[in-house]
Structure formats: C-alpha cells, structure tokens
Amino acid sequence: MILNSHNRRKFFSISATLLAAACGFSEIALAQAYPSKQITFVVPFPPGGTSDAMGRLVAQELSKTLGQSVIVENRGGANGNIGAAAAARSKPDGYTLVLSGIGSHAINAGTYKNMSFDPVTDFTHITSIASGPNAIAVHPDFLARTLQELIDLARKEPGKHNYASSGTGSSSNMAMELFKQKAGLKIDHISYRGGAPAMTDVLGGQVPILITNADAILPHVKSGKLRILAVTGSERNVLYPDTPTIAEAGYPDVVAVSWTGLSAPAGLPSDIVKRLQEETAKAVKGPVRQRLEALGLTPGGVSSQDFTKFVSGEVAKWKAVAQSAGITAE
C-alpha cells in the first residue's frame, strides 16, 4: 500500500515536471500567476513564542486567501538576526517572506556591532501585522502606587531599586531605558531569559519592578498579585482601560511598542507587494483581529510606504537609546 501510493505520487510529480517543461514554464509565467507554488515564511525565532504565534496565525490566513500553502520555517538565533539575514539573502520573488519585528529590524541594528544586513535597505517592508505595548508593574508590597510615586521614589533613592526585564536588548529593556533617560532616573536592570522568569521573580517579591508585554501580566493584575502602573503605548490599552500611558504622565516621547510585520528581500515586484499587503491587511483586520485583541495587540495592515517609514524611524530611535544607555550585544 505504502509503496503503491509512493509510486503514484512519484509518477504524478514526474509527469507534472514534464508538463511544465513542455509548456515552457518560465519565470515570467510564474510571476504572472503569483503565487504558483508553496511560499516559505521565515520566522526568525524558535517555535513557541509570541512572534511564532503571530507568524502562524498570518500564515494560516494567507494560505487560505492566496490559494497556496504558506509554510512557517523557524530559523531562530541571535535575537532574530539569523533568520532575517537568511531571508535578506534569498530571491525577491515573493516565495520567501519573513516576519520582521522590533528586535531583528530595529533594536539589533543599535545593539549589535556586526550586522550582516541592513534592516531597512535589504528588505521590502510589506505591511505591519500587530503591535502591543509593554507595561510597568510592581509587586503589591512595593511602596509606589502610581507612576508618579515610582518616579519620586527612584529620585529619592537612586540606584536602590531594581527592575526585571525579559532580557538585555529586549523591547521591554529598551522601553525602560528610554523612560529612565527621559525621566532622569536610576533603577538597576536585572536581566532574564524571557518574560516568564522575570514575572515569576517579581511575583515572588525577589525584584520589585517589572516591565514586560502588557498581556502577559493580565491575570496577575486581576488577582492583585501585581500592580500595574503604566503602559508604554501611545494610547491606553484595551486590556487596561484605567491604566495611564507614560506619555500621559508627562513624558510624551516615551512611546515603545513591540511590533511584528511582513517583509521580504529588497526588490520585491510591486504587484506582489500590493497583493500581499492587501491580503495581510484583510487578515489582521478580519479573521485574526479577535485573536490579536485578546492579547491586547493592535492589528496592523498599513501601506508598504508607511511601514517602511515606520521601520526606519524605529531603527533611529532605538539606536539612540542603545548608545546613551550603553547597551550592546556581541
């Protein structure tokens, strides 16, 4: 049985190849009928994280609307640099896409000395997928009840308090450093490998202050095991309508959101960019929207020009923060 079906499949694939050759299946024909084969969607992280989940959600929808399977290929390592570099080197034919994000396409350019790619010029940035803020929260026994109280306390006792983040050079670490710079505070950084262990230590009272993805702390805020002080978005978050932004507290420049987007190697033909932008925008504003909002994320779907401009702005913004905070990787 197994041999039989195997042989049959082989027969079909051989005849398909012959057919393709007979019809003169050229590259031009391929472009006209985009997509005519399976699409590889590089997710530059190992399976399991939020970015991976974003990638899979979008891949699932694109498979349906494009009529070709979009296969997620996880190529993790070096904060997203390995997967992004591999994608940058591939052909701009629309069959290799990459999940771009705040790490691989913005912060890393400021923290890594030797980047093998340029996050702006080596890519065609197609559209944004989703973005979400970080949140600053404290252990319930900690003295500060509001962001202003935290600022006052940190000014009174500089260097005495610690904050936990999901890692050196992570978006939460960078957001806190940006806030510290603008507010002139000295709070020491305790780095963790990921948001979960950082949260665990703040819940256990080992470290008083936490900055991490806003959605991750929701159950603990509800049960009173953590007290949320502020979110880092430009507007309040749907999950915490009563929690102010840092901007509201008087620091309008302190806006930091973790974002993901859809990108491809530089030089992607404009008709393919248009098609992918449209389908992705439809997906994130349609079937995927509810899932994103459950995580407190804002759906993207902006135009390719706007997204490219946004990415350049992010690169510049985080480069400045990394330099003045002295954060480097490598």
Partner 1 sequence: MEILGNLGLGLVTAGSLSNLLYCFLGVFLGTAIGVLPGLGPTATIAMLLPVTFGLPSESALIMLAGIYYGAQYGGSTTAILVNLPGESSSVVTALDGYQMARQGKAGRALATAAIGSFFAGTVSTILVALFAPPLAELALRFGPAEYFSLMVLGLVASIVLANGSLLHAIAMIVLGLLLGMVGSDVNSGTARYTLGLPELEDGIGFVIVAMGAFALGEIISNLEDESGRSVMLEKVTGLMPTREDWARIWAPILRGTALGSLLGILPGGGAMLASFAAYSLEKKVSRTPEAFGKGAIEGVAGPESANNAGAQTSFIPMLTLGIPSNPVMALMIGAMVIQGIQPGPSVMSEQPKLFWGIIVSMWLGNLMLLVLNLPLIGLWVRMIRVPYHYLFPAILVFCTIGVFSLNNTTFDVYLMGLFGLLGYVFRKLDCEPAPMLLGFILGPMMEEYLRRALLISKGDLTIFIARPISAVMLVLVLLLLLTVLAPTVRRKREEAFQEVG
Q: Does 196 bind partner 1 (CB under 8 A)?
A: yes
If the CB atoms of residues 188 and 235 are measured against partner 1, the closer one turns out to be: 188
Q: Which of 118, 152, 157, 188 binds partner 1 (CB under 8 A)?
A: 188
φ/ψ (deg, to 5) at 34: -60, 135
Residue 206 touches partner 1, criterion: CB under 8 A = yes
Q: Which of 25, 90, 225, 236 binds partner 1 (CB under 8 A)?
A: 225
CA distance 244 to 254: 13
Q: Rule CB under 8 A: choose which of 31, 65, 69, 201 binds partner 1.
A: 201
Is residue 51 close enough to count as binding partner 1 by CB under 8 A? no
Site for partner 1 in 159-178 (CB under 8 A): 162, 167-169
Question: What is the closest distance, in whole angstroms, from the C-beta atom of residue 136 to partner 1 in the complex?
Answer: 18
Site for partner 1 contains 111 (CB under 8 A): yes
CB of 42 to partner 1, least distance (A): 9
Smallest gap from Cβ 3 to partner 1, in A, equals: 18
Per-residue three-class SS string for the chain: CHHHHHHHHHHHHHHHHHHHHHCCCCHHHHHHCCCCCCEEEEECCCCCCHHHHHHHHHHHHHHHHHCCCEEEEECCCHHHHHHHHHHHHCCCCCCEEEEEECHHHHHHHHHECCCCCCCCCCEEEEEEEEEEEEEEEECCCCCCCCHHHHHHHHHHCCCCCEEEECCCCCHHHHHHHHHHHHHCCCCEEEECCCHHHHHHHHHCCCCCEEEEEHHHHHHHHHHCCCEEEEECCCCCCCCCCCCCECCCCCCCCCCCEEEEEEEEECCCCHHHHHHHHHHHHHHHHCCCHHHHHHCCCEECCCCHHHHHHHHHHHHHHHHHHHHHHCCCEC
Q: Does 327 bind partner 1 (CB under 8 A)?
A: yes
Question: Toward partner 1, which CB reaches closer, 223 or 270?
Answer: 223
The region of 4-12, 70-78, 261-269, 278-286 touching partner 1 under the rule CB under 8 A is: 70-78
Under the binding rule (CB under 8 A), the answer on residue 76 touching partner 1 is yes
Q: With binding defined as CB under 8 A, does residue 298 bind partner 1?
A: no
Residues 250-289 close enough to bind partner 1 by CB under 8 A: none
Residue 244 contacts partner 1 per CB under 8 A: no
Nearest distance from C-beta of residue 78 to partner 1, angstroms: 4
Site residues, partner 1 (CB under 8 A): 46-48, 50, 52-53, 56-57, 60, 73-79, 81-82, 85, 111, 114, 116, 162, 167-169, 188, 190-194, 196-197, 199-201, 203-207, 215, 218-220, 222-223, 225, 291, 294-295, 327-330
